[in-house]
Amino acid sequence: MRKRILLLVLLPLMAVSANAQSLLVGDANCDNQVDISDVVFTVNRILADESYKGSCDVNYDGSVDISDVVILVNIILNGDIAYLGCPDDAHPHLIDLGLPSGTKWACCNVGATVPEERGSYYAWGESEGKRVYDWSTYIHCDGVRDTCHDLGANISGTQYDAAHNLWGTPWQMPSDVQADELITHCTAEWTEIDGTNGCKYTGPSGGSIFLPAGGGCYSPFLFDRNNGGYYWLGLQNPEDINRASYLYFSSGDAYCGNGVNRFYGFNIRPVAQGF
């Protein structure tokens, strides 16, 4: 590894503005792709000016050093393309908020065509939207309260995960830990985009996502739209399997709860595990 990097620094310095910033994580030289030229650029910046950060600080630790080069090489080898914000209309994108776990959040909800859309509403463990959300229509129970089937402690990444079913790898429903990390490590700004209220979460990387306050579905009714966001998480409540965990936020509050009936129709914002 060391020998390889030493050879790289002998390559010519890339002639790109050192002040530019790219939405593409790892695009150190801001040419809209992540490749070996970014490794060369970063190594040269380390040698030339240790105070330089720009787009080279891939792990957002405030300095540009060999750890950034290691991450860059991994991004290139694994094809882990992530952004600080939506670069185009080809959603969903992986957004790198710079979270400690390395978790990337999707730029939009399942069923949405743009980030400011609420998307579809799902009962917990279902992968299709419907008109009426109650015990009688919930497919993972026997038609009435207190008859829920045990889907396992955590349905993220399983056959019961709508994010995984509809979007495929690497997407899945967030865990409580991932949702908690989002609300504790990001700054939240209650805002409105095209008539939809929601919360913009900005992470340590400077990257951000917008979560619409889509409310929830109970029976044929939509409640709390534009006032509260209700997003399913992957955990089944261990004390009462009829309930599951969710992320809630409003203009003045945000928390992860685990005690809501699984038949409710909530939105889903997928994540990709840290890599």
Asked if residues 198 and 212 have their Cβ atoms less than 8 Å apart, the reply is yes
User: Near Zn ion by CB under 5 A, which window of 99-107, 136-144, 160-168, 230-238?
Assistant: 99-107
User: Near Zn ion by CB under 5 A, which window of 86-94, 157-165, 196-204, 216-224?
Assistant: 86-94
86 binds Zn ion (CB under 5 A): yes
84 binds Zn ion (CB under 5 A): no
Residues in the interface with Zn ion (CB under 5 A) total 4
Pick from 118, 84, 123, 133: nearest CA to 104: 84
User: What's the first-to-final CA gap in the chain, in angstroms?
Assistant: 20
247 binds Zn ion (CB under 5 A): no
Asked if residues 212 and 229 have their Cβ atoms less than 8 Å apart, the reply is yes
**Residue with smaller CB distance to Zn ion, 93 or 243:** 93
Contact set for Zn ion, span 107-126 (CB under 5 A) = 107
**Residue with smaller CB distance to Zn ion, 107 or 272:** 107
Choosing from 14, 52, 85, 91, the residue that interacts with Zn ion (CB under 5 A) is 91
- Phi-psi bin for 192: left (phi > 0), alpha (psi -120 to 50), beta? beta
> Closest separation between CB of residue 167 and Zn ion, Å?
12
User: Near Zn ion by CB under 5 A, which window of 81-89, 131-139, 200-208, 263-271?
Assistant: 81-89
Give every CB contact of residue 175 below 8 A, 6+ residues apart in sequence: 154, 156, 233, 234, 235
> Closest separation between CB of residue 273 and Zn ion, Å?
19
User: Near Zn ion by CB under 5 A, which window of 22-30, 62-70, 79-87, 125-133?
Assistant: 79-87
> Closest separation between CB of residue 249 and Zn ion, Å?
20
Token pair belonging to 104: 């990337």
Choosing from 30, 34, 93, 174, the residue that interacts with Zn ion (CB under 5 A) is 93
**Residue with smaller CB distance to Zn ion, 93 or 164:** 93
- In single-letter form, the type of residue at position 130 comes to K
Q: What share of the chain is helix, strand, coil (3-state, %, to 5)?
A: 20, 25, 55
Asked if residues 165 and 127 have their Cβ atoms less than 8 Å apart, the reply is yes
A 10 A CB-CB count for 33 gives: 14
> Closest separation between CB of residue 107 and Zn ion, Å?
3
**Residue with smaller CB distance to Zn ion, 170 or 257:** 170
DSSP string, 180-237: HHHHHHSEEEEEEETTEEEEEEE-TTS-EEEEE--BEEEBTEEESTTT-EEEEEEEEP
**Would you tell me which residues interact with Zn ion (CB under 5 A)?**
86, 91, 93, 107
